[in-house]
Chains A and B, each alone.
Chain A
Amino acid sequence: GQNIDQPTEMTATEGAIVQINCTYQTSGFNGLFWYQQHAGEAPTFLSYNVLDGLEEKGRFSSFLSRSKGYSYLLLKELQMKDSAYYLCAVIDSNYQLIWGAGTKLIIKP
């Protein structure tokens, strides 16, 4: 079956760095998304990786290793507003989106 694993919850300190991992086993691969979602709101797009390597976008970076079925989202200079759910999603060979359960990130002062 298809499966995406992310940690359920993580805690980090304001100003620090945190890495949220995502591992996947899917039937084929056509890209991986990271979305941020605040409680009661719709998800917002953070990144899309389809090739191996690191994509940097301001305080957020996303890494992909297709051979390992692994991605991570790196958040630097954490701010209180970064407290949210972070969702990993993979597009499989049928172009279906498979969603992870999401990681709740808690930022403490």
Chain B
Amino acid sequence: GAVVSQHPSRVICKSGTSVKIECRSLDFQATTMFWYRQFPKQSLMLMATSNEGSKATYEQGVEKDKFLINHASLTLSTLTVTSAHPEDSSFYICSARDRAGGDTGELFFGEGSRLTVL
């Protein structure tokens, strides 16, 4: 099946620094990528929808200036957590939809990135 690579898988940073997480579709083109945040024992919380070549659409309550999303190509989207604080510590997961599958195509998930802010 299609592979989505997410990097880094784990990152520990100091409060106030910025962290970038990459999401790559390795063997397909993804016009749409999704970024989720997940707290322990809870379901996925959609943060934003990223479309190639356009601005991301953020869910209500998600700070655009805090969580910068860039989808510069059909295979790469990045999430930057700016001026990270301990409350930003979480599991961040990306998913990508195969362009060939259209709007109802299967989502392929990255492995997730665990962010710990000290």
Binary flags per residue of B33-50, CB closer than 8 Å to A gives 1, else 0: 010000001111010010
Distance (whole angstroms) from the CB of B41 to the closest CB of chain A: 8
What is the CA–CA distance of A102 and B44 in the complex, to the nearest angstrom? 9
Does any Cβ of B come within 8 Å of A106's Cβ?
Answer: no
Does any Cβ of A come within 8 Å of B107's Cβ?
Answer: yes
Structural contact, A31 and B104, CB atoms closer than 8 A = yes
Does any Cβ of B come within 8 Å of A101's Cβ?
Answer: yes
Interface centre among A33, A40, A42, A97 (most CB of B within 10 A): A42
Structural contact, A91 and B103, CB atoms closer than 8 A = yes
Structural contact, B109 and A42, CB atoms closer than 8 A = yes
Closest to A85 in B: B43
Number of residues on chain A facing chain B (CB within 8 A)? 23
What is the CA–CA distance of A48 and B104 in the complex, to the nearest angstrom? 9
Number of residues on chain B facing chain A (CB within 8 A)? 21
Indicate whether A44 sits within 8 Å of B109 (C-beta atoms), given known contacts A30-B103, A97-B34. yes
Distance (whole angstroms) from the CB of B112 to the closest CB of chain A: 5
Contacts of A85 in B (CB 8 A): 43
Does any Cβ of B come within 8 Å of A78's Cβ?
Answer: no
Structural contact, A97 and B103, CB atoms closer than 8 A = no
Does any Cβ of A come within 8 Å of B93's Cβ?
Answer: yes
Structural contact, A42 and B112, CB atoms closer than 8 A = yes
Does any Cβ of A come within 8 Å of B91's Cβ?
Answer: yes
What is the CA–CA distance of A95 and B105 in the complex, to the nearest angstrom? 10
Contact surface of A with B, Cβ cutoff 8 Å: 30-31, 33, 35, 40-45, 48, 50, 85, 87, 91, 95-97, 99-102, 104
Sample 30 A-B pairs with CB under 8 A, ordered by A number: A40-B91, A40-B112, A40-B114, A41-B112, A42-B93, A42-B109, A42-B110, A42-B112, A43-B44, A43-B93, A44-B109, A45-B1, A45-B106, A45-B107, A48-B104, A48-B106, A50-B104, A87-B44, A91-B104, A95-B103, A95-B104, A96-B49, A97-B34, A97-B46, A97-B107, A99-B43, A99-B44, A99-B46, A100-B43, A102-B43
